[in-house]
Amino acid sequence: MKLHEYQAKQLLELYGVPTLPGEVATTPLEARKAAEKAGGRNVVKAQIHAGGRGKAGGVKVVDTPAEAETAAASMLGRRLVTHQTPAGGVLVRKALVVSAADIAKELYVAVIMDGDVGAPVVIASTEGGVDIEEIAARTPDKILRVPGDPLIGLTPYKARDLAYALGVPPELVRPTADLIVKLYRLFVEKDCSLVEVNPLVTTKPSRPGQQPRIIALDAKVSLEDDALFRHPELQALHDPEQEEPLELRAAAAELSYVKLEGGRVGCMVNGAGLAMATMDITKWAGADPANFLDVGGSADEKRVEEAYRILVSDPDVKVVLINLFGGILRCDAAARGIVAGAQATRSDLPVVVTMRGTNAEEGLKILADSGLKTHLAHDLAGAADALKELLAASTPTKAPGQQARRR
Amino acid sequence: MGVLVSKDTRLLVQGLGRDGSFQASRARAYGTNMVAAVHPGREGQKFEDTVPYFSSVAQAVKATGANAGVIYVPAPAAADAIIEQADAGMGVIVCVTEGVPVMDMMKTLAYLKGKKSRLIGPNCPGLIQPATKVKIGIIPGNIVNPGRIGIVSRSGTLTYEAVAQLSAHGLGESTCVGIGGDPLHGTTFTDVLGMFQDDPDTDAIVLIGEIGGVREQRAAEFIKARLRKPVVACIVGQTAPPGKRMGHAGAIITGKAALASEKVAALKAAGAHVVDSPAYIGQKVKEVLGR
């Protein structure tokens, strides 16, 4: 589960990490008042669950309350499109108004789980303010990695080494090390899958005698869905408006659905690995998958019906590819679910089907007798061939081979 | 005689709710020697009128000599069950449970270091050995056949797919091992490859990987350095976009190394026979074996 920047900063503050919290505005007028209250130069930041806001016009520096109002008006109630959002963008409901910092240096720091190490790892760089992917591509040698220990955590000396390596001014070494340890603790204690501060900044003293500071100027926190059961207070931070409506509907039915941009084959499968394999087969057949729908290992008729309804309510889907391997899942039950889903939605899309395993023959017979436009295949290779034929017969709406959008 | 288990395997099942009971029943029907059931509150009763229930793993092991355990308890309690089995000295622990929090697994894997237990999973289909009729987990017994191909996979249903293709080509399996789809898991590809290397009853290996993590690259390093048996490999998720979790918690592209293309390149460079699509696994194995 992703959090908004303002929510992430609240979590950071809870752990004693210095941020500029600012105020959340839901109307341009509120943004104006927040800027008035803060005084001086402010930054208005659209709150969406995607990066790349700056380049897309979702972050604006303003000098007056009137400018803050105008900036907020340009964001609120509109859809912001960044390189990480779907093509249609994401609706902006909230904007964060926050004092502008006097930045001396922008750094990068993040905590993620490293499956290879078996512990969280702190990733840091002196090149903050740009995407970590960009840092990795441009200056891979400037990325520092410090693993924690699964039982002990991140010991202070490692954080101190990192602070020195980041080249912060001497008086900021301790506060920076302290901040890194706190980010690590937050990551572990709140079951995060990502804690990212980009940029982490050192400030210029604005008047003599003032100390420079280290501040988490932006914050991105993602929580691990599987551990949310033990953090009821964090569950409340969920913002369903930021997600694909079909993904939400699927989650409610305990289905795993992922929307992919630019494709036209809807894939229904049981099992994540088989789902990915089926998507690949679509690709080899010269088309792109429009989505990934995993009904899971033990779905029944009702769940398969809902899965089919979700699949065909995606307007991009022109052909349906169903690949089921019955184990606990019975293919005859699945077939009845598919037929029910097709009848309920009055869908007449062509359907390529392979079914193996438990009650596969009964399932295939149900589909063959259903009146649906089904193309039955014996195995994955056969399914790919059937898909190729169908796609060749229809006019492509998009060029084949087009890449799924980066997210 | 295959890897990890043998005809001497004595199975303990922990967590006999709806799914656990169903799977335990299937394992027994397949021919697996299930000796103990652990489900607090049912001590004194018998599963299917035959297998005694115990309230703790330690008691069960002491009374029955169980040497392999499978876990079907719900995700919040799964890590505790793994630790309980390790403390009872279980040889092989298969955790089928899906959705175990990553932090729980992190601590559990650290705890298991230096202990004699070998953990497979979590979020895995487990393993099956057709020649000895040992089935620990959820791989359907009716699709596998005794044979000389070892399968190791991150995915359950893709394992079935590979098995179906081997069957279509008249081949069978020495042991099928599903290591699971979570980012933090006990037994790795490399571990299982090492076992197949040492197993006189395995002639060739099928490795099914997916996007996310670097475990396939580690497997490639091992294949290059040590493995003297042919490996047919397939990596799924070629079309997955970065940053999206593709069903499995571990199947998410978080950097260049997590891409399918990187894994394919590493495996090819190590000498593995990589097929583009899982549709060609059976055919490729046949080809590699020269039959």
Q: ipTM of the predicted structure? A: 0.92
What is the per-residue pLDDT for A207?
78
Structure tokens, A241: 């408006």
CA end-to-end distance (rounded Å), chain A: 15
Q: CB–CB of A245/A310 below 8 Å?
A: no
- Which residue did the predictor score with more confidence, B77 or A244? B77
Taking only the tens place, the pLDDT of each residue in B178-233 is: 999 999 999 999 999 999 999 999 999 999 999 999 999 999 999 999 999 999 99
pTM of the model: 0.91
What is the per-residue pLDDT for B291?
59
The pLDDT-based confidence of A395 (bands split at 50, 70, 90) is low
Q: Provide CB contacts within 8 A for B137, sequence distance 6+.
A: B23, B70, B94, B96, B124, B125, B126, B127, B128, B178
Q: In the annotation, is A134 catalytic?
A: no
Domains parsed from chain B with CATH numbers: 1-123 (3.40.50.720), 144-291 (3.40.50.261)
The residues with which A294 forms a beta bridge, in sequence order, are A256, A269
Q: Which of B104, B110, B276 sits opposite A284 (nearest CB)?
A: B276
Average pLDDT score, chain A: 90
Q: Which of A188, A230, A271 sits opposite B155 (nearest CB)?
A: A271
Taking only the tens place, the pLDDT of each residue in A142-185 is: 899 999 999 999 999 999 999 999 999 999 999 999 999 999 99
Residues 207..246 of B with a Cβ closer than 8 Å to A: which? 208, 210-215, 218, 234, 236-246
What is the per-residue pLDDT for A394?
67
Q: Which residue out of B23, B214, B235, B239 would a mutagenesis test of the A interface target, given it has the greatest number of A Cβ atoms within 10 Å?
A: B239
Structure tokens, A149: 């220990």
Interatomic CA distance for residues A217 and A203, integer angstroms: 10
Q: CB–CB of A280/B251 below 8 Å?
A: no
Q: Does residue A287 carry a pLDDT above 90?
A: no
Q: Which residue out of B96, B103, B144, B215 would a mutagenesis test of the A interface target, given it has the greatest number of A Cβ atoms within 10 Å?
A: B103
Cβ–Cβ gap B107/A150 under 8 Å: yes
Residue A297 touches chain B, beta carbons under 8 Å: yes
Q: Provide CB contacts within 8 A for A189, sequence distance 6+.
A: none
Q: Report residue B217 CA to chain centroid gap.
A: 19
**Most confident range, picked from A301-305, B164-168, B189-193:** B189-193
What is the per-residue pLDDT for B279?
83
Q: Which of B212, B214, B247 sits opposite A294 (nearest CB)?
A: B247
**Mean pLDDT confidence for A355-365:** 89
Domains parsed from chain A with CATH numbers: 1-20+102-243 (3.30.470.20), 22-100 (3.30.1490.20), 245-393 (3.40.50.261)
What is the per-residue pLDDT for A401?
42
Assign 3-class secondary structure to chain A: CECCHHHHHHHHHHCCCCECCCEEECCHHHHHHHHHHHCCCEEEEECCCCCCCCCCCCEEEECCHHHHHHHHHHHCCCEECCCCCCCCCEECCCEEEEECCCEEEEEEEEEEEECCCCEEEEEEECCCCCCHHHHHHHCHHHEEEEECECCCECCHHHHHHHHHHCCCCHHHHHHHHHHHHHHHHHHHHCCEEEEEEEEEEEECCCCCCCCCCEEECCCEEEECHHHHHHCHHHHCCCCHHHCCHHHHHHHHCCCEEEECCCCCEEEEECCHHHHHHHHHHHHHCCCCEEEEEECCCCCCHHHHHHHHHHHHCCCCCCEEEEEEEECCCCHHHHHHHHHHHHHHHCCCCCEEEEEEECCHHHHHHHHHCCCCCEEECCCHHHHHHHHHHHHHHCCCCCCCCCCCCCC
Q: Does residue B19 carry a pLDDT above 90?
A: no
Taking only the tens place, the pLDDT of each residue in A55-102 is: 899 999 999 999 999 999 999 999 999 988 888 889 999 999 999 999
- Closest-CA residue of B relative to A187 is B103
Residue B63 touches chain A, beta carbons under 8 Å: no
**Mean pLDDT confidence for B252-265:** 89
What is the per-residue pLDDT for B6?
95
Residues 38..97 of A with a Cβ closer than 8 Å to B: which? 84
**Mean pLDDT confidence for A25-37:** 97
